Amino acid sequence: MAIHSSNLGYPRIGEQREWKKALESFWNGQLEEANLMETMKTIQLSSIKKQMAKGIELIPIGDFSLYDHVLDTAFMFGYIPKRFGQESERRWDTYFAMARGTSSQPAMAMTKWFNTNYHYIVPELDGLQPRLMENFLLRDYQFIKDNLSIETKPVLLGPVTFLILAKLSTGVHWHKHLQLLVPVYIELLDELYRAGVRWVQVDEPILVQEIDEDIVAAVEYVYHSFYQKVPGVQLILQTYFESLSNYPEIVSLPVAGFGLDFVHDDGENLYNMKKYGFPKGKWLAAGMIDGRNVWKSTLVQKAALLEELSKYTEHLIIQPSSSLLYVPITVKHERRLAKGLVDSLAFADEKLDEVRLLAEYAQGKRSLSDLRHYDEQTGEALGLLRGQPIKKTIQPIEQTERPPYAKRRQAQQQHLKLPLLPTTTIGSFPQTREVRQARLKRKKQEWDEKQYQTFIRKQIAKWIEIQEKLELDVLVHGEFERTDMVEFFGEKLGGIACTTNGWVQSYGSRCVRPPIIFGDVVHLCPITVEESVYAQSLTEKPVKGMLTGPVTLYNWSFVRRDLPRSAVLNQLALAVRQEVLALEQAGIRIIQVDEPALREGLPLKRQKQPAYWQEAVYAFRLATSAVRLETQIHTHMCYSDFSEMIDIIDDLDPDVISIEAARSGGELLSLFEIHTYRKQIGLGVYDIHSPRIPSRDEILIQLERALRVLRPDQFWVNPDCGLKTRTEKEAIASLQAMVAAAKEMRNRLFVSLQGGDQDDSKR
């Protein structure tokens, strides 16, 4: 039996986040382009060398990027929106302008990559003709070959997935571009083949969603075209995140092999192999090691699965279930975690060790007892770490039903006395170098707790004063004590551990350290009350209490696998509920429970989605439903497909929801032409992920569009998201423009109302 070990993709950020630091230095003008490129080459070579040392035979290229692999694909094929001009000698300025915007042009839209926390740049296709500007894969292939003398496996986003995820004008179908794009893909593949490439991984994750006959026909057209024009290239048609849909049709395509996920497929891929068989002579690239969680694999179970798979193919590639982009790089720097926990974890490097162990077992180089010894060490460590589960959180919990929204709204308005079109921010303010240095001094014990808390209070007082001067209506304390909205709570809740260096890319250069839920989650003491109460003491205006919701805590953490999702969600919801009630008891009148990751855990198969939504809605309402009538509950969501979840948002039953809308060009507004939403809503009126500062008139245009479909008495004015990644200058200038636009719109509405009253009196 022919066996290969392979990897689908490796984290690009560098073991010490060298990638992030180089990018941000370049953007800030502190690093020349030549130095940036040299640093990036060093990081890329280091990643390849690691995979070589781990014994991986099919090592990917094309997974490394200066920002995002979907943006790379669009840029490589010439899909550069006209507002950014034509590609020039300073091409990377154009590339980063597409991702981040410029002083005069907004960035391209950004959204979640399937059901992950990774954000991709949405390609724009309108009015553009594809062409191969530069074959990035050929460039990387030759660079690695010249420096390391090895053959690599180029990884390419497939044309069907690329086009379906891209942005088109209303009424324009992606098929229009397929006929144009396929020849460009063929040109790229032909160049690779003539350079000596034999294996190419073509990612088509869209094929794990429900697909209609139209998509199946498009896929058949694409891969038959590839086979006819470049038959010498061995294509692996790669899927991940769930089971392959339309299995019989897809596995009959003329490619060398098929990559299937045997971790997150709920057993469906193996079921389909048993029912329909697997094409003779084709390679099965089996995703055996979980690419999205950090727990070590149970290799004896994987060995049993390998034995089963070997009944259907004699050509087997053993690999992770997906790219390793979604996990940290290595556990070797995690010296502060409990030993039992560390011994139970496998980050990217350790997962490659597991791939090698399984491949060596399949090749007859290791025995089953070797795998059993590996599993026993993991099981013993984890067994010592976990106590008995909290029984009450596994059973359904009675939640308190809130009074009807209309009754709440009346009580809240009497209590809060907010103006029409109230202005606010989402929560965080700039985490400056000074803030980061203060946190580091505390970590190194150069400052004691009193010194650190004094510093935090000064920052809160400074920004309460700034918000007062800006004349915002609902203020926030700024979250200066928080490194990250999930990690901060993970550090303070029982049953959750936080890493030292477990960084994962979220979008652009933004990296997060997802906590690890290893035990039963419990609320140990008040977490946010002190800062919120202090901020409220400085102003007569309401200050929002800021919490992270249970579903986001779940989806942005690495979760334990031995409890059902609902049990862990309920534990998190009860912990958040206790914090909500603590804030309310301390006099906080508005409490925001953010759920930006509400949709991320949603299964990609529609028939599995209702159960997820039921559990998610239950958890949010469990966390928020016990407050008094006059306490206003807010939530915030961003970078998701809201068209499919507007009814779910209503079911959550918040009083106010804020949603990202600026990058999408206000397209979200079309939803409210179809669906009537009766509660209060804030659509983000400017993009905080771009350094550009919007003008008052730009924001007025956003408000005008919003108020065509939403009532003025239900609309809030706020940015897209938190402001922690912006500079103080950018944050203040943008908020000045936002408040000015809100005031102007209030004046227009007042004049309009007065005119209407006069007309009525004449009648």
- CB atoms under 10 Å from CB of 662, counted, come to 25
Q: How far apart are the first and last CA of the chain?
A: 90
Q: Does domain 410-430+470-753 have CATH number 3.20.20.210?
A: yes
Residues of the chain with CATH 3.20.20.210: 2-79+108-385, 410-430+470-753
Provide the token pair at 67: 């920002």
Q: Quick check: helix, strand or coil at residue 683?
A: strand
Closest to 56 (Cα-Cα) out of 4, 95, 16, 98: 4
DSSP 124: B
pLDDT of residue 759: 41
What is the distance between the alpha carbons of residues 36 and 93, in angstroms, rounded to a whole number? 13
Q: Which residues lie below 8 Å from residue 102, measured CB to CB, with a gap of 6+? A: 84, 692
Q: Which fold is adopted by the domain 2-79+108-385? A: TIM Barrel (3.20.20)
Q: Which residue numbers belong to the known binding site? A: 17-20, 112, 117, 426-428, 479, 510-511, 556, 594, 600, 636, 638, 651, 660, 721
The span from the CA of 566 to the CA of 556, in Å, is 15
d(CA 344, CA 375): 10
Beta bridge partners of 637: 659
List the binding residues for L-homocysteine.
426-428, 479, 594
Residue 338 is given by DSSP the state -
| Res 763: pLDDT | 27
**Segment 96-130, tens digit of pLDDT:** 999 998 888 889 989 899 999 999 999 999 889 99
Q: Give dist(CA 679, CA 248) in Å, integer.
A: 46
| Cα–Cα dist 180/74, whole Å | 14
Exposed, middle or buried: residue 677 (CB in 10 Å: 0-12, 13-18, 19+)? middle
pLDDT for 661:
75
Which of 329, 323, 352 is CA-nearest to residue 156?
A: 323
How many helices and strands in the chain, by DSSP H and E?
27, 20
SS3 236: strand
Comparing CA positions, the residue from 117, 6, 8, 16 lying closest to residue 63 is: 8
Is residue 253 within 8 A of residue 237, CB to CB? The reply is yes
Q: Given the structure tokens 């057209």, which residue do they identify? A: 221
Residues contributing to the annotated binding site for 5-methyltetrahydropteroyltri-L-glutamate: 17-20, 112, 117, 510-511, 556, 600
Contact 658, 686 (CB under 8 A): no
Tokens of 148: 């390391």
Q: Which element (helix H / strand E) includes 617?
A: helix 609-624
**Residues 221 and 247 sit within 8 Å (Cβ to Cβ):** no
pLDDT at 392: 47
Bridge partner list, 119 = 112
Joined tokens for residue 536? 């409220």
Cα–Cα distance, 651 to 620 (Å, whole number) = 10
4: its two tokens:
């290969």
Q: Which amino acid is at 132?
A: L
pTM: 0.92
CB 117 within 8 A of CB 597: yes
For residue 88, the model assigns a pLDDT of: 54
What are the φ/ψ torsions at residue 727 (nearest 5 degrees)? -80, 165
pLDDT tens track for 487-531: 999 999 999 999 999 999 999 999 999 999 999 999 999 999 999
Cβ atoms of residues 540 and 587 within 8 Å: no
| Distance separating alpha carbons of residues 352 and 347, to the nearest angstrom | 9
- Picking from 72, 190, 193, the residue whose alpha carbon sits closest to that of residue 133 is 72
Measured distance CA(576)–CA(482) in Å, rounded: 16
Q: Which helix (H) or strand (E) holds 39?
A: helix 33-53
Query: What is d(CA 685, CA 682) in angstroms, rounded to the nearest whole number?
Result: 8
CA–CA distance, 448 with 467 (Å, rounded to integer): 29
Closest to 265 in 3D by CA, of 246, 297, 238, 242: 242
- In this structure, what DSSP letter does residue 192 have? H
Beta carbons within 10 angstroms of residue 451's beta carbon = 13
| Tokens coding 277 | 């068989």
Task: Find residue 614's DSSP bridge partners.
Answer: none
Give the angle subtended at the CA of 270 by the CAs of 598 and 61, to the nearest 5°: 65
CA 503 and chain centroid, separation: 13
User: Please, what is the Cα angle at 325 between 321 and 329, to 5 degrees?
Assistant: 105
Q: What is the 3-state secondary structure (H, E, C) of 348-391?
A: HHHHHHHHHHHHHHHCCCCCHHHHHHHHHHHHHHHHHHCCCCCH
Q: Which residues pair with 239 in a beta bridge?
A: none
Residues marked as catalytic: 689
Place of tokens 């507007």: 646
Q: How far is CA 484 from the centre of its chain?
A: 14
Structure tokens of 197?
A: 């490439």
DSSP state at residue 601: T
Low-confidence stretches of the chain (pLDDT beneath 70):
86-89, 170-171, 378-400, 639-643, 663-668, 753-763
